[in-house]
Amino acid sequence: MKNEIMVKEAENIAYFMQRLYRQQLTTTLGGNISVRLGNEILITPSQVDKDCLTAEDIILIDENGNIKKAVHPASMETQMHMAVYKNRPDVKAIIHAHPFWASLFALSDLKPVNNISDEAFFMVKRLAFCEYHTMGTKELADEAGQKSKNADVLILKNHGILTCGKNLTECMERIEVINNLAHYAYLASGKIKLVSLSKEAMEKINK
């Protein structure tokens, strides 16, 4: 029974990853999804075309991040997912993506307003901003883990969006709602200013 559940969840992860890509909510190699099953975590691999992802590509790790089953390297943001799970025992699923409109909250001075509709207030009322840290680092993982204690939607500065919830459907809904909110905010703003990475951040990425 446990194996059947794991296979079903792996198929679910692959399905939602394809949906993210096909709905233009992330890029070919960007974004990652995970689901927690007891003391184990299923997570998407690194550098695999999101539109072709299958259940066989999904990686199984234990609660300490040790790989138990894999045919590809684990997502570079595995630490970030684990940090959120550690700080949020209630969370069973996480989606990290780079949706076009919602990423404006992370890349500019555009500010979210999450009380303009009942749907928005219900789904993203627990919202937090994370300070910039280089992608895939422990610093980013620690920041996301701490901020997730009081938020279900994280805006990662100069990076993207992370949503968490009791299942992938809830996480996906939050991604879609925050993406719509950003579009509304942009249309209402008149003009925004993009915020670039610092010189130090770019040097770290180059390394």
User: Is residue 124 predicted with pLDDT exceeding 70?
Assistant: yes
Q: Which of 77, 143, 170, 176 is catalytic?
A: 77
Out of 30-34, 93-97, 112-116, 142-146, pick the least confident.
Answer: 112-116
The pairing of beta strand 127-130 with beta strand 153-156: parallel
Active site residue 131: no
Q: Which residue has the higher pLDDT, 120 or 95?
A: 95
Helix (H, G, I), strand (E, B) or coil at 161: strand
Give pLDDT, residue 1.
45
Q: Which residue has the tokens 């390297």?
A: 73
User: Is residue 77 predicted with pLDDT exceeding 90?
Assistant: yes
Give pLDDT, residue 21.
93
Kindly give, in sequence order, each residue whose CB lies less than 8 Å from that of residue 49, ignoring residues fewer than 6 positions away.
28, 29
Q: Which residue has the higher pLDDT, 201 or 14?
A: 14
Which domains are present in the chain?
2-206 (3.40.225.10)
Q: How confident is the model over 60-70, as a mean pLDDT?
A: 90
Which band of pLDDT confidence, cut at 50, 70 and 90, is reported for residue 194? low
Give pLDDT, residue 188.
84
